[in-house]
Structure 1
C-alpha cells in the first residue's frame, strides 16, 4: 500500500507514521504538511507545502495512493467558531476534494474525537464543527470513509503531543493510565492501537464507518 499522512507531526500522526513505516505491506509513506516531521526512513517521503488549501503545484505527487490518514487538527480552546471551522472543516474538505479527484479508489481515514455531534446542533462548538466535517466527508464517494472518535490516548515509543497542556498532563496521569488501560482497552487507547486500526481500515476499505474508542480497539486487533 501507498499511504498519505497529513498531520504526521501531531501525537496521533506520529503514532500512525511509526506503525505505517513498520508495516510490511506498506511500500511508501508520504507525509504532507507545513513542516518536516524530523524523521528519516527508507519508505518515508516528505512533501513540505506551506499552503494546504491550495495543492495545485503538488498534485502530480498526490496520485496513486491507497489511503489517506488525515490526522491534522487544532485545539478549539480560545478559538472563535469561524476560525476553528476554517481549519477543521474548510481545510479538511478542501484536501479531501482534491484527493478524491486524484485518487477515486482511496480510503479516507479521519481523526475526529469522542463526543462529536453528528446532529450539528449541540451546545459544544468543537463537537458541532467536527460533526459537520464528518457528515461532509461521508457524502464524498471515496472507496471508504472511516471516522475515528478516540477519547483518551496513551502515547507510546517516544510519541509526544504538540499541545503543551497535554505534554504537562500526561506525565502526571501516566501511572493511572498504565494501571487502567489493561483493564479498559476499549476505553483507553494507545498510539499503537490507533495506528494499527488505521492500517486495518486501509486494508479493508469496506464502506463508511464511524468508530468510537471501543470500535477502534477492536479494529486494531483485526
Structure 2
C-alpha cells in the first residue's frame, strides 16, 4: 500500500508513521509538512509544502495513494472558530479532494456538529462532510492517547499533562476503556483501516484498540 500522511511531526502523526514503517504491507509512505523531516527508511519520502489549503502543486506526488491519514491537529485554546477551522476543516477537505484511496480522519472524543463547544462543533462538521463523500472514509475519535516509544506532543502543555499522567494510563484503561488508547494502537488501527479491516466508519478508543489487535 501507498499511504499519504499529513501531520507526521505531531504526536498522532508520529505514531501513524511509525506503524506504517513497521508494517510490511505498507510499501510506500509520503508525508506532507511545512518543514523538512529527516527520513529514515527507503520507503518513506517527505514532501515540503507550505499551503495546505491548495495541494494542487504537489498532486502528482500524492497520486495513486491507497490511503490518506489526516493527523494534523492544533489546540483550540486561545483560538477563535475562524482561526481553528482552516487546519481542522478546510485543510482536511482539501486533502480528501487531492488524495485518493481510503481516508482516515483523526477527530476527537466528543466531536459533534451540534455541540456548543467550538472544537467539537468544527470537528463534528468536518466528520459529517467527509463521511458524505462517495469513498471509503473512516473517522477515529480517540480520547486520552498515551504516547509511546519516545513519541512526544509538540504542544508544551500537552507534554506536561502526558508526562504527569503517564502512571494513570493502566488505571484509565481499566475504568474507562472507551476513552483510552495509545499512539501505537492508534497507528496500527489506521493502517488496518487502510487495508479494509473494519466496517464501522466512526470508531471510539476501545474500537480503535480492537482493530489494532
- The TM-score normalised by the length of structure 2 is 0.94
The 3-state SS of whatever aligns with 1:109 is strand
**Separation (CA, whole Å) in 1 of partners of 2:178 and 2:115:** 26
Q: How many residues are treated as equivalent by the alignment?
A: 213
Structure 1 runs not aligned, ≥5 long: none
Q: After superposition, what is the alpha-carbon deviation per residue over 1:132-155, rounded to whole angstroms, capped at 9, x for unaligned?
A: 10000011112x100000000101
Runs of 4+ aligned residues of structure 1 deviating over 4 Å after TM superposition are: 182-186, 205-208
Deviation (angstroms), 1:121: 2.4
The 3-state SS of whatever aligns with 1:157 is coil
Deviation (angstroms), 1:7: 0.3
Bigger shift: residues 52-61 or 182-191: 182-191
Bigger shift: residues 56-65 or 22-31: 56-65
**Could you say which residue in structure 1 is the equivalent of 2:194?**
202
Deviation (angstroms), 1:211: 0.7
**Separation (CA, whole Å) in 2 of partners of 1:184 and 1:80:** 31
1:160 to 152, 155, 179: 152
Q: After superposition, what is the alpha-carbon deviation per residue over 1:12-39, rounded to whole angstroms, capped at 9, x for unaligned?
A: 0000100100001111111011112334
**Separation (CA, whole Å) in 2 of partners of 1:57 and 1:163:** 29
**Separation (CA, whole Å) in 2 of partners of 1:13 and 1:97:** 20
Structure 2 runs not aligned, ≥5 long: none
Q: After superposition, what is the alpha-carbon deviation per residue over 1:98-143, rounded to whole angstroms, capped at 9, x for unaligned?
A: 22xxx3xx100000000001xx22210111100110000011112x
Deviation (angstroms), 1:193: 0.5
**Separation (CA, whole Å) in 1 of partners of 2:212 and 2:198:** 15
Q: Would you say the 8 A contact 2:55–2:94 is kept in 1?
A: no
Q: Would you say the 8 A contact 1:138–1:208 is kept in 2?
A: no
The 3-state SS of whatever aligns with 2:103 is strand
